[in-house]
Amino acid sequence: MRTCIIAEAGVNHNGDVAIAKKLCLAAKNAGADIVKFQTWITEKIITQNVKQADYQSENTGSNLSQFDMLKKLELSYDDFREIKKYCDEIGITFASTADEQDSLDFLVDLGIPFIKIGSGDIGNIPYLRYMGAKKMPVILSTGMSTLGDVEISIQALREGGAENIKLLHCTTNYPCPYNDVNLKAMDTLKTAFGLDVGYSDHTEGIEVAIAAVARGATIIEKHFTLDKNMDGPDHKASMEPDEFRCMVKGIRNVEISLGRERKCPTEAEFEILNVIKKYIVAQKNIYKGDVFTDDNICTKRSLNGLSCKLWDEILGAKASRDYKVDEGIYF
């Protein structure tokens, strides 16, 4: 199965459509399948007295409220129409997370291929039901949640009418330290709900995302930026194009490497087998009627002779003809 790789541009456009377009092109050139943003009307998602998270104020170097920070990063619906059109032109799929109902309605009309739900809306029952009622494919991030929280959210989506639901395991921390990743939780989610599970990666580097694919992730979402040194809350915990490209290459190589479940030699191994496999040969001159023993036969790389797997069967048998040293032994 081919892993869907999402370049999470998020708010790394810094409120600038030109930067957003550059992110789209860079994501396509880095091998992403989808470039994803976040869409909201600030007044509808947050009150004015909420402080920034510690990582946000640290990364922005500002004490602005979250309201003011988000207002600076907000793009208009016309901006997103322009970005979607550009994505269509260059050949990369556009997606965006809607943080409230009006933006969801807008994005559905715009033609997003699925509804992506951020971890902040886990347990938001009325909104989850509203999203489910769109009867579109859903990808649900599960950061900051328990298995019970995820179950409640899936139930709300299904009550609304959602049928095609995929889950993303993630740890909501920017960046996420390795000891908080808990990739094994992917297995728990898959076993508990019987749904496809992917991984939204907030770690630094490419190793964990690649490991997640080896563990069965069907989707990888990774924060993406043009430059980690740009101003903004998420750039430092995001991946630049060259590193993203390396991650994509690693994922595609792992996909190929996973191969099939059947254990058997490959076509290339059969060719090598002929020159390195050992067979049963004469250790000394053997004469017709001699009994094969540990003293007169051995195993060596050879072009003929019985397979070493037949060692116990040949021991004690009598030679049916004469054999010279290193000659392959047969019944």
Concatenate the DSSP letters of all residues of 12-75 into one string. Answer: TTTT-HHHHHHHHHHHHHTT-SEEEEEE--GGGT--TTPBPPHHHHHHHT---BHHHHHHHH--
Burial class (CB in 10 A: 0-12, 13-18, 19+), 265: exposed
User: 3-state DSSP call for residue 86?
Assistant: helix
pLDDT of residue 61: 72
Burial class (CB in 10 A: 0-12, 13-18, 19+), 212: buried
Cis amide prior to 175 (ω within 30 degrees): yes
Report how far apart, in Å, the C-alpha atoms of 26 and of each of 17, 97, 219, 244 are: 14, 20, 19, 10
pLDDT of residue 63: 77
Give all domains of the chain, ordered by start, each with its CATH number. 4-258 (3.20.20.70), 267-314 (no CATH)
pLDDT of residue 183: 98
pLDDT of residue 46: 94
Q: How far is Cα 193 from Cα 161, in angstroms, rounded to an integer?
A: 17
* Lookup: tokens for 228: 């980690």
Give the H or E element holding residue 278: strand 278-282
Q: How far is Cα 83 from Cα 93, in angstroms, rounded to an integer?
A: 11
Report how far apart, in Å, the C-alpha atoms of 301 and of each of 265, 276, 284, 314, 328 are: 18, 6, 16, 18, 10
Summarize pLDDT for 32-50 with one digit per residue, the tens. Answer: 999 999 999 999 999 988 8
Concatenate the DSSP letters of all residues of 206-255 into one string. Answer: SHHHHHHHHTT-SEEEEEB-S-TTSSSSSGGGSB-HHHHHHHHHHHHHHH
* Lookup: tokens for 87: 């994505």
Residue 251: Cβ within 10 Å count: 22
Q: How far is Cα 236 from Cα 230, in angstroms, rounded to an integer?
A: 8
| Below-50 pLDDT ranges, the chain | none
Which residue in 246, 241, 185, 179 sits closest to 210, CA to CA? Answer: 246
* Lookup: tokens for 34: 């989808």
* Lookup: tokens for 214: 């080896």
pLDDT of residue 54: 73
Q: How far is Cα 16 from Cα 202, in angstroms, rounded to an integer?
A: 23
With contact defined as beta carbons under 8 Å apart, do 59 and 5 qualify? no
Summarize pLDDT for 48-94 with one digit per residue, the tens. Answer: 888 877 767 676 777 788 899 999 999 999 999 999 999 999 999 99
